[in-house]
Structure 1
Amino acid sequence: MTLNDLRIAVTLLSFAAFVGILIWAWSARNRASFEQDALLPFQEEDRHE
């Protein structure tokens, strides 16, 4: 195995991880949770006090 083979393997693994994250982020199963989490900064409760 040469250094170029290792670079190719790392690139392919990184791309596969990227595609997996995209599929997870855009899945309909997680949509309700993400929409609820997106509203957290706008809630009126002060958690710092």
Structure 2
Amino acid sequence: MEDLQRLLLLRLLVVLGPGVMLIWLYFGLNLADSPPAWTIALFWD
């Protein structure tokens, strides 16, 4: 049962990984005009 959960988690990471990166790049490029806000958002987490 634990192996199944691990497999699902791994699959979720594989699916979400590229999507998160695309969103990150999209917002990064859009906010490139205002670097201060971008760096604040980056280090806020």
TM-score, L = length of structure 1 = 0.51
Runs of 4+ in 1 over 2 A off after TM superposition: none
Instruction: Report the equivalent of 1:36.
Output: 33
Could you say which residue in structure 2 is the equivalent of 1:7?
6
Alignment gaps of 5+ in structure 1: 42-49
More helix per residue: 2
CA distance in 2, matches of 1:17, 1:7: 15
- Please identify the structure whose Cα radius of gyration is greater: 1
Instruction: Tell me the TM-score normalised to structure 2 length.
Output: 0.53
Comparing both chains, which one has the higher relative contact order based on Cα–Cα distances under 8 Å and sequence gaps of 6 or more?
2
CA root-mean-square deviation: 2.0
Q: Which letter maps to 2:33?
A: Q
Aligned length: 36
Q: Which ranges of structure 2 fall in alignment gaps of 5 or more residues? A: 38-45
